């Protein structure tokens, strides 16, 4: 599965950059997070080889697409001077999730004798991220006072 995920991930940054240029950056990140949510749900609920393979392909196709687009969105939102600080701030919170995730998943697996709940929690977090991007997209679509003025 890791090899399949790796092969699927090879073109993903270029692919998602191209998609972001066509449909807008926030919509591309929303799509990435939605596809990752589907991948996590499949891994939790469809545990035969077909489900796990589809999950791995979906995850591979999305894993490296988000970070470069999010870095550009930071520049769009706060300008080129503050973009590195904004992206660093987001990366710090991402790191907290990466650090806490294995602990929480392990505790859940101990409590429920399965990792299914942990993968469903990851699915829920990805859905919340996608909804957050929808809200960000709606906020970005509203004209600012300077644009109206």
Percent of residues, the chain, with pLDDT higher than 90: 88
- Residue 140: what pLDDT? 65
- Residue 139: what pLDDT? 73
Average confidence (pLDDT) over 74-82? 92
pLDDT confidence band for 145 (50 / 70 / 90): very low
pTM above 0.85, yes or no: yes
DSSP codes of every residue in 34-87: HHHHHHHHHHHH--SHHHHHHHHHHHHHHTTTHHHHHHHHHHHHHHHHHHHHHH
- Phi/psi zone of residue 67: left (φ > 0), alpha (ψ -120 to 50 degrees), beta? alpha
């Amino acid at each position: 599965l890791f090899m399949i995920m790796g092969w699927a991930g090879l073109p993903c940054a270029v692919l998602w950059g191209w998609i972001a240029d066509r449909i807008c950056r926030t919509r591309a990140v929303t799509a990435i997070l939605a596809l990752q949510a589907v991948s996590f749900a499949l891994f939790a609920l469809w545990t035969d080889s077909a489900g796990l393979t589809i999950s791995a392909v979906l995850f591979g196709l999305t894993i490296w697409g988000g970070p470069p687009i999010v870095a550009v969105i930071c520049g769009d939102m706060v300008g080129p001077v503050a973009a590195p600080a904004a992206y660093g701030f987001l990366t710090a919170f991402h790191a907290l999730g990466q650090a806490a995730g294995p602990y929480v998943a392990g505790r859940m697996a101990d409590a429920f004798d399965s990792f299914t709940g942990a993968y469903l929690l990851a699915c829920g977090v990805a859905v919340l991220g996608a909804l957050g991007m929808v809200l960000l997209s709606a906020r970005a679509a509203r004209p600012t006072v300077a644009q109206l003025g």
